[in-house]
Amino acid sequence: MRAAPRTDIRAGEVLTHAEMCWVESTSLQRGMNFRLHGRHSVILMSVRPGAPYADELRNAGRVLIYEGHDAARNVAPNPKLVDQPEFLPSGKPTENGKFRQAALAAKAGTAAPDRVRVYEKIKDGIWVYNGVFALVDAWQQFDGTRQVFKFELQLLDDETPAVSEALPDLAHNRLIPAAVKQAVWKRDKGRCVSCGSPDNLHFDHIIPFSKGGSSLTADNIQLLCARHNLAKHAHIQ
């Protein structure tokens, strides 16, 4: 029997690829995963230099413009030279097609927006959970070579787990820009700054966001393990 996906994951949590697959009860081999097990969808994104797709975070991380995915190499030997496909040779929709249909239904008001869990790659094998986004729009555009799909997703503020009441700042961790996350990861060497643990890490605001701390500078962000993150927030008044 397949295990249910975790519901207690919090924005800002750092995971290996294996942990991410365990969280979602799926071997995540592609970036677009529509309605896994009939539940939420999952997107894997990256804004790192050299990323294969032109993903973009806007409005301090609250809006994701996600690029669709290329044709498989067994269909197109040079995928970057052909339009991103909406349908497979069999006529069934690709992940692009599935996400597009759902997005346009939401835009037209004929269906509620799909909820999408978004994971962002910060280095090889290391990902951070950015939170739950609503899929609200889709379109095609010319990138200078071919037509690509674009999807707009907007951060949902009502997807904060109940446990976050003890960690009031965690809901804002998802707004930390990718460049800041990467700088903090490199500076803190992928370990908790309090105990050196490489496990169960979270991006933490040194001065809480709710008390005026910035998400936009690495000077106010640190890596803490879950134990020290809980201990810190237990002392914040």
Rama region for 140: left / alpha / beta (φ>0; ψ in -120 to 50; rest):
beta
Q: Does the pLDDT value for residue 221 go beyond 60?
A: yes
Taking residues 62-73, report their average pLDDT.
Answer: 95
Shared domain for 66 and 144, answered yes or no, is yes
| Residues 195, 189: Cα–Cα separation, whole Å | 12
Position 5 scores a pLDDT of: 58
User: How buried is 29 (Cβ within 10 angstroms: 0-12 exposed, 13-18 middle, 19+ buried)?
Assistant: exposed
Note whether 59 and 129 are same-domain residues.
yes
pTM of the model: 0.85
Report yes or no on 163 lying in a domain.
no
Q: Is the confidence at residue 157, as pLDDT, over 90?
A: no
CATH number at residue 191: 1.10.30.50
User: What average pLDDT score do residues 194-200 get?
Assistant: 93
What's the pLDDT at 234?
Answer: 53
Question: 47 in a domain, yes or no?
Answer: yes
Give the domain extent around 52. 15-155
Interatomic CA distance for residues 53 and 93, integer angstroms: 20
Please give the share of the chain, as a percent, with pLDDT higher than 70. 87
Nearest residue to 45 via CA among 101, 121, 105: 121
Average pLDDT for the chain: 88
Instruction: Convert the pLDDT of each residue in 25-35 to its tens digit.
Output: 999 999 999 99
- Determine the Cα–Cα distance for residues 189 and 187; give it in Å rounded to an integer: 5
The CATH number linked to 23 is: 2.30.280.10
How many domains is the chain built from? 2
End position of a domain, from candidates 128, 155, 182: 155
Residues 180 and 151 in one domain: no
End position of a domain, from candidates 126, 155, 184: 155
List pLDDT tens digits, range 119-155. 999 999 999 999 999 999 999 999 999 999 999 999 9
Confidence at residue 6, expressed as pLDDT on a 0 to 100 scale: 61
Greater pLDDT, 7 or 102: 102
Q: What average pLDDT score do residues 177-186 get? A: 90
Q: Is residue 97 part of a domain?
A: yes
Domain end position, chosen among 134, 155, 176: 155
Please indicate, yes or no, whether residues 67 and 126 belong to a single structural domain of this protein: yes
How far is Cα 204 from Cα 191, in angstroms, rounded to an integer?
A: 12
- 88 shares its domain with 189: no
> SS3 for 171?
helix
Residue type, 117: R
